[in-house]
Chain A
């Protein structure tokens, strides 16, 4: 599934919910299926700054695709980072770098996109795209 297809799927999922509580319950549920980061990566190096809760994100490259794993000490943050992982994980670095993030607005989480929000969604996206940039550069070097 492409990034756009996953994003559309997520938008459809969220469109089933009329009120905020169902929406947040869905985010909480999503947090429970988060691909968990290995304990050894839960260090400052993998910690994403700008969050009121702590979030760690790791990335590795497998057969040209980026695999993300994460964890957080807050449940909603787990759900939000898993939302991003569903979209970004198993995609080529280039796709991740160019990904259009407007679906976050469509599912009614726009408030989390503001840079003043302390959940750090913006920082998470930035960090995940940064991983993709690094992998893209490495892949180019290997090809050269």
Chain B
């Protein structure tokens, strides 16, 4: 069956609007995706019917809300093929998930003899939490360099990893360049040294099927909002053995078993890491997003996205003066580019006037922009509801940009 993008677009109400009198082209999907009607309706439905606090009440509504909330957890577990539902920790987003691992794992396993490895391609969210915990624990932060092609230098990584390495934290797909990292190889190398790997899957979950057991990662983090679900919800998948050993991250209600002023006993997984009232409505809404995506099928989505990405790269490269960043590296969903010597801010300001939403700047990944010696880039990030016609409109806008700044 062919991929009916026009039919799919009907499911996303926000796509059907005019910006500056022109039909919106939404190419900022790596920042956040638009939401299908099913997700929007589910959130409203929750507040209209079963809204109540979870895991506490004995009353009927609370039981309904708890069942729906735990139903979401099981759906997430099933979707990423985690071995156990208690290995799914609900957080506020990928950043929150990474902070949880950095702080909790860091306090337990990092000291002045320890090293943590991240990469040059990381989003600030997978840099700063590690910097802060390494500083606190007096551990050393090491960074996998990139090759000229824009891919991670695995040889350098193999030389870098040693007995002191306690954890490797790398992104699955780079948000700034769209480069797909050889995550299985990285995990294999790390596991040869018995070092666990945390994967920042904020972009990875969006563009590929994720099977955490097949991948072999020890932690996998992602946000709902980049994956067609509501904002304010994230997931931390962690292998049971690590989560059991790690101390709680934040403290308060729900995460405790018993509290006296002398001693508090912590709750079991996953509740040990889920303190306070969670974002129930949006967690339930996220299940609708997964159901929706699964209904279309990630394999079809991936095939279509690769097709329009390939079309987009070719179309833009055909314009004289357009330079695609990390061209030739394996990519997913993102075209990061520059036009002649035009500042990305100048280009972005004009592209916006065409009703096209792109992101300009360093994309919260300043280190890789510094390494490439550029002030930033223009990023068109695609989703399966984008079309080749929209890419053509971007190409037209780029030609106007070239004329205006010639």
Is the C-beta of B178 less than 8 angstroms from some C-beta in chain A?
no
Q: What chain B residues lie within 8 Å of A118 (beta carbons)?
A: 345, 361
Shortest Cβ distance from residue A117 to the other chain B in the assembled complex, whole angstroms: 10
Is the C-beta of B373 less than 8 angstroms from some C-beta in chain A?
no
A54 CA to B344 CA, complexed, in Å: 12
Shortest Cβ distance from residue B262 to the other chain A in the assembled complex, whole angstroms: 49
A119 CA to B344 CA, complexed, in Å: 12
Contact for B345 among A20, A25, A119, CB less than 8 A? A119
- Interface residues as binary, A109-129 with B (CB distance below 8 Å gives 1, 0 otherwise): 000000000110000000000
How many residue pairs between the two chains, A and B, have CB atoms under 8 Å in the bound complex?
41
Q: What chain B residues lie within 8 Å of A119 (beta carbons)?
A: 345, 349
Shortest Cβ distance from residue B348 to the other chain A in the assembled complex, whole angstroms: 8
Stretch from A5-13, A59-67, A72-80 at the B interface: A72-80
A28 touches B345 (CB 8 A): no
B376 touches A20 (CB 8 A): no
- Interface residues as binary, B350-372 with A (CB distance below 8 Å gives 1, 0 otherwise): 10010000001100000000000
A25 CA to B276 CA, complexed, in Å: 53
- Interface residues as binary, A38-75 with B (CB distance below 8 Å gives 1, 0 otherwise): 00000000000000111000000000000000000111
- Interface residues as binary, B364-406 with A (CB distance below 8 Å gives 1, 0 otherwise): 0000000000011000000000000000000000001000110
Number of interface residues of A (CB under 8 A): 15
Known: A52-B376, A54-B375, A118-B361. A24 touches B349 (CB 8 A): yes
Q: What chain B residues lie within 8 Å of A20 (beta carbons)?
A: 20, 353
Q: Give residues 1-29 of B contacting A (CB, 8 Å).
A: 20
Shortest Cβ distance from residue A77 to the other chain B in the assembled complex, whole angstroms: 7
A74 touches B350 (CB 8 A): no
Is the C-beta of A134 less than 8 angstroms from some C-beta in chain B?
no
Q: Kindly name the residue among A21, A28, A53, A73 whose own CB sees the greatest number of chain B CB atoms within 10 A.
A: A53
Known: A20-B20, A118-B361. A76 touches B375 (CB 8 A): no
A77 CA to B345 CA, complexed, in Å: 9
A119 CA to B361 CA, complexed, in Å: 11
A53 CA to B361 CA, complexed, in Å: 8
Number of interface residues of B (CB under 8 A): 16
Q: What chain B residues lie within 8 Å of A73 (beta carbons)?
A: 343, 375
Known: A52-B376, A53-B375, A75-B405. A21 touches B353 (CB 8 A): yes
Q: Which residue of A lies closest to B375 (CB)?
A: A73
Q: Which residue of A lies closest to B20 (CB)?
A: A20
Known: A73-B375, A75-B405. A53 touches B343 (CB 8 A): yes
Q: What chain B residues lie within 8 Å of A28 (beta carbons)?
A: 404-405
A73 CA to B20 CA, complexed, in Å: 27
Q: What chain A residues lie within 8 Å of B346 (beta carbons)?
A: 53, 74-77
- Interface residues as binary, A81-125 with B (CB distance below 8 Å gives 1, 0 otherwise): 000000000000000000000000000000000000011000000
A43 CA to B361 CA, complexed, in Å: 20
Shortest Cβ distance from residue A2 to the other chain B in the assembled complex, whole angstroms: 30
A74 touches B353 (CB 8 A): no
A24 touches B343 (CB 8 A): no
B404 touches A25 (CB 8 A): yes
Contact for A24 among B353, B360, B361, CB less than 8 A? B353
Given contacts A24-B404, A76-B349, 20 further A-B contacts (CB under 8 A): A20-B353, A24-B349, A25-B404, A28-B404, A28-B405, A52-B344, A52-B360, A52-B361, A53-B343, A53-B345, A73-B343, A74-B345, A74-B346, A75-B343, A75-B346, A75-B405, A76-B345, A77-B346, A118-B361, A119-B345
- Top 6 nearest A-B pairs (CB, nearest first) are A74-B343, A53-B345, A74-B345, A52-B345, A74-B346, A52-B361
Residues of A whose CB lies within 8 Å of any CB of B are 20-21, 24-25, 28, 52-54, 73-77, 118-119
Can you list 22 A-B pairs with a CB-CB distance of less than 8 A? Answer: A20-B353, A21-B353, A21-B404, A24-B349, A24-B404, A28-B405, A52-B345, A52-B360, A52-B376, A53-B343, A53-B346, A53-B375, A73-B343, A73-B375, A74-B345, A75-B342, A75-B346, A75-B405, A76-B349, A77-B345, A77-B346, A119-B349
